[in-house]
Amino acid sequence: MIERIWAWLIASSSWVGPDGIGARLGEHVLFSVVVVAAAIVVGVPLGLWIGHLGRGRWLIAAANAARAVPTLGLLFALALWVGPHIPGRWAFVVPSLVALLLLAIPPVLAGTYAGVEAIDPAVRDAARAMGMSPLRVIRQVELPNAMPLVLSGVRSAMLQVVATATIAAYVGLGGLGRFLVDGLASGNYPMTAGGAILVAALALVIDAVLALAQRLLVPAGLREGGRERIASGRHTGNPATAGDPTVSPAR
């Protein structure tokens, strides 16, 4: 069995052509990246704004609750409902993208909000008291400090989207899910299993790429490990108070 899966995975015939692994992989990555990018465009500003104002927290709760809606059900509902109103190939693509977007927004939104919420109130207070405008406070202080949790949210959204984009193949989205659908339909188990392996591998690779991005985007002062190193530098002291070391003047 394993040999047959392996054989399917390495056969050049499986990789080329419009139905080949190469094309499907490209589709899968493209859809996932587009969906997560859209989730960032929506979720990050919204999360920053809610965190900054401390108002509208119900939106975060609502978004989290919406994660309980089964994506597969939502996908079919949208495809049946909205699909007929959209012409051509988009009839299948749009409902899939919308369902995946609804899946991707909550982690990004919640991560961003949690990141802003976790900032020491004294830091935000200082930013305002230095004379920063609200927009500057958000851009120069809140966003950089929220970055670790924003990126955790993005990673978690990306993983879910990559995994879930598989089932969108049922309504014609393409992507790696096609191998699972077609493999099951035609009893081609090496293709089914190979497709599943490819999805898992893709998820791992993308997560590794994002982990790297996280290291590059998180400001150095917020990285793990910095906290333990306490400065060894001494004060230069003040000549006014540097008295005789043995008998110091009464102060």
Partner 1 sequence: MIRFDGVSKVYPGGAVAVDNLGLTIPTGQITVLVGPSGCGKTTSLRMINRMVKPTSGTITVDGQDIARIRASKLRRGMGYVLQDAGLFPHRTVLDNIGTVPRLLGWKRARIQERARELLERVGLEDDLADRYPNQLSGGQRQRVGVARALAADPPVLLMDEPFSAVDPVVRDQLQSDLLALQADLSKTIVLVTHDIDEALRLGDQVAVLRRGGHLAQVGSPAELLAHPADDFVADFLGRDRGYRSLAFAGMPRLTLHAERTVTLGEPLPAGGPPWVLVLDAGRPQGWVRTEEVHRPGRRVLVDDLERGGNVARLDSTPREVLDAALSSPAGRGVIIDDQGEFVGTVVASELLALLELERGQR
Site of interaction with partner 1 (CB under 8 A): 120, 122-123, 125-133, 136, 141, 144-145, 147, 219-222, 226-227, 229-231, 233-238, 240-241, 243-244, 246-251
Q: What is the DSSP string of 31-51?
A: HHHHHHHHHHHHHHHHHHHHH
Q: How far is the CB of 37 from partner 1 (least distance, A)?
A: 24
CA dist., res. 28 & res. 42, Å (int): 21
CA dist., res. 155 & res. 153, Å (int): 5
Q: How far is the CB of 136 from partner 1 (least distance, A)?
A: 8
Q: How far is the CB of 57 from partner 1 (least distance, A)?
A: 20
Q: How far is the CB of 42 from partner 1 (least distance, A)?
A: 24
Which tokens hold the place of 160?
Answer: 């879910």
**Three-state secondary-structure class, residue 17:** coil
Nearer to partner 1, 48 or 79 (CB): 48
Contact 51, 115 (CB under 8 A): yes
Nearer to partner 1, 12 or 246 (CB): 246
Nearer to partner 1, 69 or 213 (CB): 213
Q: How far is the CB of 247 from partner 1 (least distance, A)?
A: 5
CA dist., res. 201 & res. 213, Å (int): 19
CA dist., res. 62 & res. 84, Å (int): 29
Nearer to partner 1, 45 or 144 (CB): 144
Nearer to partner 1, 12 or 238 (CB): 238
What is the number of residues in the chain? Answer: 251
